[in-house]
Amino acid sequence: MASTVEGGEDRLGKYDLCMLMAIWMEMSPNAQPPDDPVPSSEEKAACVGVIALDGNLVHSKIFAAACSSKYSHGVNALALKYGQRLDGSTLFVSRKPCSECTKHMIQVGVKTVYYFPTKPEVKKEDDLAIVDHTMKVSHLAMKVLIPEVIRVKSQPPPYEATNDKEETKIAQKELEERFGDKPDALSDIQVPDDDTIEQRHQEFKEVLTWLAVKTRGDLPSAYIVQNPPPEMLKENEQELLRHAASLTYILAHRTTDPSTGVGAVLMNKKGDYLGFGYNGYQINASLADFSRYRGENEKDKQKVKYPYIVHAEANALLFRNEPEFDPNDTVLFSSKSPCNHCTFHIRHLGIKHVVAPESSQLPPAASGAIGYGKFDEYCKADAISKYMFTDSRKCNDNYAQGDEEKQQ
């Protein structure tokens, strides 16, 4: 976590974002270790999370996400679902994939795979040797990646500022139990000297802590649900909502907006992710093309910034991997209450379920020139189910209220 920026929030490069999301996908309430042993070793595979960047070399977009389930390894679930649509793609996997997954990645044309250097999916020398040989005679490149966070100058690291929060501590413990506190010995990490080893260990630990803060520490622990349709009320609803909402918080750190980060995801009711977005200038923009204005002057913002920014919700919808989807079965998550423009997009597509923070919780400056009133109007008029993040300190009250609503 060496680099720093002035002001705003911590930032993530695209690959770092994808790896953090892959690690978080392994933590999905839908993720399970697969039942079947790997043929080469009779060893059971660990659970993994995967993110795919599409094959567009210049403007690659986050295309899909998956995790292991009872009947499939995570990478294989992605390969079986999207097949040749993964041609030329780059995958980010929370563990070094097993030999089965490696073969299938090659068949669907995956170009590069990055993995987090924790215990491999199948920790067995035989299987790792097959992975290496399979790779050698293929077009596929496989590399280790420990994500880096670009920190904001002159602010304490988030893990120091919020380490004392109970939510963060729980998440930290869960992440450390699963991934360890340093790279695994079999993870192929190349280190030239002792200092570098120490640095890699530090980075490994810090990145998991950052993730704990962003996914749990910064996120309220419960939601209040307005107008919930009965079919949405599954047993793991709260966990699934929290997991997806956490992804929007991670995505928000990839913005090219100089001051405000927003993340959004589109998910169906089974928990499959259909689209990912963050706010920022258009995909072919370089930093010099648009203003880096950070001030608070609304007039200046309206002139040099707002007309050029594409909102996270719009990007999640525009970049979605399923052109056709059932809007009644789809949930849009955003780390910020949708603005009036995004509300029109949501309404146009007929999306009936939205998870977002309450608009009244926005800081006054953030609700300035863009306009946010239409979303609440739309929710009322069309009786869409709206799940709102609520203050975690009121967690128990909200759970009680949610339960009452569920029983009605």
Q: What residues make contact with Zn ion under the rule CB under 5 A?
A: 73, 98, 100-101, 121, 311, 339, 342
Q: C-beta of 5: minimal distance to Zn ion in Å?
A: 24
Q: Residue 44 has what DSSP assignment?
A: B
Q: C-beta of 279: minimal distance to Zn ion in Å?
A: 8
Q: C-beta of 57: minimal distance to Zn ion in Å?
A: 26
| Nearer to Zn ion among residue 101 and residue 142 (C-beta) | 101
| Nearer to Zn ion among residue 212 and residue 332 (C-beta) | 332
| Nearer to Zn ion among residue 253 and residue 311 (C-beta) | 311
* 226 phi and psi angles, rounded to 5 deg: -105, 135
Contact 387, 226 (CB under 8 A): yes
Closest CA to 53 of 18, 20, 78: 18
- β-bridge mates for residue 91, sequence order: 52, 113
Tally of helices (H runs) and strands (E runs) in the chain: 13, 14
Please tell me whether residue 278 adopts helix, strand or coil conformation: strand
Interior CA angle at 275 toward 32 and 213, to 5°?
60
Spatial separation of the C-alpha atoms in residues 383 and 301, rounded to whole Å:
33
Told to judge if 176 belongs to the known catalytic residues of this protein, a careful annotator would answer no
Assign 3-state DSSP to the chain and report helix, strand, coil percentages, each to 5.
45, 15, 40
| Nearer to Zn ion among residue 75 and residue 207 (C-beta) | 75
Q: C-beta of 295: minimal distance to Zn ion in Å?
A: 21
Active-site annotation holder among 235, 313, 324, 405:
313
Amino acid at 377: E
Closest CA to 81 of 61, 67, 93, 94: 67
| Nearer to Zn ion among residue 91 and residue 274 (C-beta) | 91
Residue 222: exposed, middle, or buried by beta-carbon count in 10 A (0-12, 13-18, 19+)?
buried
Spatial separation of the C-alpha atoms in residues 235 and 241, rounded to whole Å:
11
Contact 372, 337 (CB under 8 A): yes
| Nearer to Zn ion among residue 25 and residue 101 (C-beta) | 101
| Nearer to Zn ion among residue 73 and residue 205 (C-beta) | 73
Q: C-beta of 76: minimal distance to Zn ion in Å?
A: 6
| Cβ atoms < 10 Å from Cβ of 299 | 8
Q: C-beta of 264: minimal distance to Zn ion in Å?
A: 9
Distances in Å between the Cα of 111 and the Cα atoms of 52, 54, 219 are 11, 10, 35
Q: C-beta of 183: minimal distance to Zn ion in Å?
A: 20
Interior CA angle at 214 toward 208 and 217, to 5°?
100
Catalytic annotation, residues? 313
